[in-house]
Amino acid sequence: MNAPNSFIFQAVVRLIFFLINIFAVYLLQRGHNWPGGGFIAGLATAISLILLSLGIGLKSLHRIMKIDPARIAFTGLTIAVLIGVAPVLFGHAFLEHFSVHFQSPILGEVHIGTALLFDSGVYLVVVGIAAKIIFVLAKSTQGLGGLVREEQRRYSSVRERPIEEDAPDEQMEPESRERKQ
């Protein structure tokens, strides 16, 4: 997807991207006390990434996001699992949450808990999975390869070929050439 030639649209999209992510941080922060949290905040950030891809184009967004969204999801899953298992190591129930309360001269009374860390892990999982699915689908609808070269090596079988392009017979495995004939 190429970026539109409208400077105004690109500027507005960047501003809205920023505002949506501020709102996502708010949703993440209030999630362990009220409805909301990591899942809703992750969806808000994924929506902002869709909007940004419409404004600046998929190729530009892929250059900006230097980390594979699947790695973001894996990091979030690791954080969530570790937060859930950590209490078991100290003789408490799985996913039991703890919090610390202290008084700050600037912020007032501050509550920090493991529920926020768990929600942060869920946030990263949702952002990573949603972004990966959206980017692969957006690329495939444009006739582009859903995966870039390094992703093809990481996620595909050695015998698998991309469906978006026909590889010459010389690049195929001997078994594949025999099946093709």
What integer pLDDT is reported at residue 167 of this predicted model?
41
Asked whether residue 27 is domain-assigned, the answer is yes
Burial class (CB in 10 A: 0-12, 13-18, 19+), 1: middle
Asked whether residue 165 is domain-assigned, the answer is no
pLDDT digits (tens, 9 = 90+) for 67-77: 888 899 999 99
Asked whether residue 176 is domain-assigned, the answer is no
What integer pLDDT is reported at residue 74 of this predicted model?
96
Sequence letter at residue 137: L
Asked whether residue 160 is domain-assigned, the answer is no
Determine contact, residues 38/118, Cβ cutoff 8 Å. Answer: yes
pTM given for the model: 0.75
Alpha-carbon 88 to chain mean position: 28
Beta bridge partners of 99: 113
Cα-based torsion angle of the residue sequence 46, 16, 36, 108 in order, rounded to the nearest 10 degrees: 130
The mean pLDDT of the chain is 81
Helix (H, G, I), strand (E, B) or coil at 163: coil
Asked whether residue 139 is domain-assigned, the answer is yes
Average pLDDT over residues 12-19: 94
What integer pLDDT is reported at residue 177 of this predicted model?
44
Structural domain harbouring 57: 7-146
* pLDDT tier, 173 (very low <50, low <70, confident <90, very high otherwise): very low
Asked whether residue 2 is domain-assigned, the answer is no
pLDDT digits (tens, 9 = 90+) for 109-134: 887 788 888 999 999 999 999 998 88
Please give the tally of structural domains in the chain.
1
Higher-pLDDT residue of 25 and 142 is: 25
Asked whether residue 89 is domain-assigned, the answer is yes
